[in-house]
Amino acid sequence: MNTMPTDARMMMAIRVIVVTTLLLVTLIIQYTVTEILPINYLYLVAGLTYLLTLTYIALGRLIRSREINLLIQIGGDLLVETLLVYFTGGLDSPFSFLYLVSIIAASMLLYRRGGLLAASGAVILYGLLGDLMYYGILPLPEQTWFIPTPWTSSRLYFNMATNFAGFYATALLTSLISEKLQKTFKELDANRQNLAELRALNQNVIESIPSGLITISTYGSASFINPAGCQILQTQAHEVLGRHVTELAFFTVEEWSEVREALDGGALVRREKEVDVPGGRRTIGFALTPLRTLDGKASGYTLIFQDLTEMKKLEGEIRLKDRMAAVGELSAGIAHEIRNPLAAIAGSVQVLKNSKALTPQEERLMSIVLKESERLNKTIADFLRFVRPQEKRAAEFDVAASLSETLDLLANSPELQKHEIRREIEPPSFHIVGDADQIRQVFWNLVRNAVQAMPEGGVMTVRTEVEAETYRIVFADSGRGMSRGELQRLFQPFRTSFPSGTGLGMAICYRIVQEHGGSIEVQSWQGGGTAVTVVLPATVSEQGARPLPAARF
């Protein structure tokens, strides 16, 4: 394995390539021109370079330091260059510029220290060579095509001085630039890293917030949507991107132009809207703010939204509970006050009716009084059951069997004429813990409502299924259905539109199911039918078993 650093290896490769190219070019010239060039020294220089390269490789295996490797190579280069200068005329040689190449390489790779070291090396070698040749200690090489010119001492020193100044100036300037460059690279790297981290953070925040986020361009087209946004709208990003905001269920064209005006005036727009998404109708709350670039230029809008459907449902339930509690408390007192005198009236009339001296007319009137007071008593009994339910006697029972019994009972009811009852009871037996009598009453109220909603006849389907430890029972009828308003008031006591109704059935169902830890969901299409779904857990949780506040008086 070669452990030499990359730049040291690169330097070797470049050197070998340059020398080899030089050699090849010279050889080509040699054989194409008639004049024989005195180039033996070139073979020597090239050979030495190859030899040194092998030495560098060997040293590279021994020495790990990048700096030392590079310094050795630069030292070798300076030696080879001195040799070349010697062969090409010494102080007259045109190749003394090659020192500069080595000094530049050293300054770039090893900065100021390396540059100055290389410059000093060049000064020593070049100075030594110049002096030795000037004083005739080193004879001129045999083979040379440079005719040596006679040198005066002042020319020698001038030549030396300019060259030395050039070497140091090059070393200082190049290292200065490369040090600056290195610093800039480092800073750039750090900035790039910071930017990447910031981007990742932004991305993470946007991807993981539970709210939906859409950015909108100044022209109104969606330019981004986060995963939560796609989930809330039950859509894919590619179906939203590029579409105009008025096609995205939040605004109509008129609303959008009005909203834009408000936004451009600096206002924050907050709204709620019912939106149809593939999974059904959802209530979505959203806020729209202008989006600005760092320098304050308008660059579009951000739309942040949340699915409020569950919250609204919960709010509705709480409101209903409150209302039922208030109504219940007030009217339970009144009902009680009516019941006692009613019992006295009915009792007295019963006694009077038994007297012998009555005309048939009087007897008929008294019968009416008795019948009506009985009906009134029943309504009050129903009502009191609602506001003050009997103690729940919980035991394990077969809820599917109770349902079948209720339907058998209904099948024998005189109310049933052109009605068809479909049973899809699956599984046919399922045990839950609860008050069987109360649950049976829930079933009875619901099936009677379904039948009463179809006075002209129709189909009632009772379908059940087990889902996650709960028993779901759907009572679907093809009756007249309910309007939105009726649906909202469905569980309120005394709201009735059935001829003999009291308006208490659903309120009682609600309370009983609630006390069993279950829930009732109603879907209705006006003129198209109603589906009431009762969900009962197999075992009652502590919370579900707690009676409603309205029951405590």
For ligand ADP, which residue of 107, 445, 478, 514 counts as binding (CB under 6 A)?
Answer: 445
- Smallest Cα–Cα separation from 414: which of 451, 458, 465? 451
Q: Whole-number minimum distance, CB 448 to ligand ADP, in Å?
A: 7
399 to 438, contacts with ligand ADP by CB under 6 A? none
Q: Which is nearer to ligand ADP, 257 or 497 (CB)?
A: 497
Task: Map tokens 């209720």 to a residue.
Answer: 406
- DSSP letter for 421, please: E
| Binding partner selected for residue 74 from ligand ADP, Mg ion, none, CB under the kind-specific 5 to 8 Å limit | none
Binding-site size, ligand ADP (CB under 6 A)? 23
For ligand ADP, which residue of 11, 462, 490, 550 counts as binding (CB under 6 A)?
Answer: 490
Q: Which residue is nearest to Mg ion (CB)?
A: 505
Q: Binding of Mg ion at residue 530 (CB under 5 A)?
A: no
Check if the beta carbon of residue 138 is closer than 8 Å to that of residue 129: yes
Q: What is the DSSP string of 366-392?
A: HHHHHHHHHHHHHHHHHHHHHHSPPPP
Q: Binding of ligand ADP at residue 530 (CB under 6 A)?
A: yes
Q: Which stretch binds ligand ADP (CB under 6 A): 84-92, 227-235, 300-308, 495-503?
A: 495-503
For ligand ADP, which residue of 77, 435, 477, 515 counts as binding (CB under 6 A)?
Answer: 477
| Binding partner selected for residue 490 from ligand ADP, Mg ion, none, CB under the kind-specific 5 to 8 Å limit | ligand ADP
- DSSP letter for 553, please: -
For ligand ADP, which residue of 115, 503, 517, 518 counts as binding (CB under 6 A)?
Answer: 503
Q: Whole-number minimum distance, CB 462 to ligand ADP, in Å?
A: 12
Q: Which is nearer to ligand ADP, 282 or 511 (CB)?
A: 511
- Which distant-in-sequence residues (6+ apart) come within 8 Å of 160 by Cβ? 126, 127, 130
For ligand ADP, which residue of 74, 453, 462, 534 counts as binding (CB under 6 A)?
Answer: 453
Q: Which stretch binds ligand ADP (CB under 6 A): 162-170, 383-391, 493-501, 543-551?
A: 493-501
Tokens for 231, please give them.
Answer: 């989930």
Q: Which is nearer to ligand ADP, 259 or 450 (CB)?
A: 450
Q: Which is nearer to ligand ADP, 115 or 529 (CB)?
A: 529
Q: Please give the single-letter amino acid code of residue 397.
A: F
Tokens for 399, please give them.
Answer: 């809820």
Q: Which stretch binds ligand ADP (CB under 6 A): 115-123, 283-291, 429-437, 472-480?
A: 472-480
CA dihedral 547, 549, 551, 553 (to 10 degrees): 140
Q: Please give the single-letter amino acid code of residue 508.
A: I
Q: Which stretch binds ligand ADP (CB under 6 A): 28-36, 168-176, 317-325, 474-482?
A: 474-482
| Binding partner selected for residue 453 from ligand ADP, Mg ion, none, CB under the kind-specific 5 to 8 Å limit | ligand ADP
- Which distant-in-sequence residues (6+ apart) come within 8 Å of 209 by Cβ? 226, 228
176 to 195, contacts with ligand ADP by CB under 6 A? none
Q: Binding of ligand ADP at residue 514 (CB under 6 A)?
A: no
495 to 524, contacts with Mg ion by CB under 5 A? 505
| Binding partner selected for residue 477 from ligand ADP, Mg ion, none, CB under the kind-specific 5 to 8 Å limit | ligand ADP
- Smallest Cα–Cα separation from 327: which of 511, 470, 186, 193? 511
Q: Which is nearer to Mg ion, 71 or 512 (CB)?
A: 512
Tokens for 264, please give them.
Answer: 């451009």
- Which distant-in-sequence residues (6+ apart) come within 8 Å of 517 by Cβ? 536, 537, 540, 541, 543, 544, 545
Q: Whole-number minimum distance, CB 492 to Mg ion, in Å?
A: 13
Distances (CA, A) of 171 to 10, 71, 95, 121: 21, 14, 18, 12
How many residues are recorded in the chain?
553
Q: Binding of Mg ion at residue 449 (CB under 5 A)?
A: yes
Q: Whole-number minimum distance, CB 438 to ligand ADP, in Å?
A: 15
CA dihedral 94, 98, 100, 102 (to 10 degrees): -170
Q: Which is nearer to ligand ADP, 447 or 540 (CB)?
A: 447
Q: Binding of ligand ADP at residue 496 (CB under 6 A)?
A: yes
Q: Which is nearer to ligand ADP, 5 or 455 (CB)?
A: 455
Q: Which is nearer to Mg ion, 505 or 537 (CB)?
A: 505
Q: Which is nearer to Mg ion, 8 or 446 (CB)?
A: 446
Q: Binding of ligand ADP at residue 515 (CB under 6 A)?
A: no
Tell me what percent of the chain is helix, strand and coil, each rounded to the nearest 5.
60, 15, 25
Question: What is the CA 156 to chain-centroid distance, rounded?
Answer: 77
In the 3-class helix/strand/coil scheme, how is 242-297 assigned residue by residue?
A: CCEHHHCCCCCHHHHHHHHHHHHCCCCEEEEEEEEECCEEEEEEEEEEEEECCCCC
Cα angle 189, 193, 195 (rounded to 5 degrees) comes to 115
| C-alpha distance across the termini of the chain, in Å | 91
The Cα–Cα gap between 137 and 123 comes to 19
Q: Whole-number minimum distance, CB 329 to ligand ADP, in Å?
A: 19
The Cα–Cα gap between 342 and 336 comes to 10
Report the interface residues with ligand ADP, using CB under 6 A. Answer: 445, 449-450, 453, 477, 479-482, 486, 490, 495-498, 501-507, 530
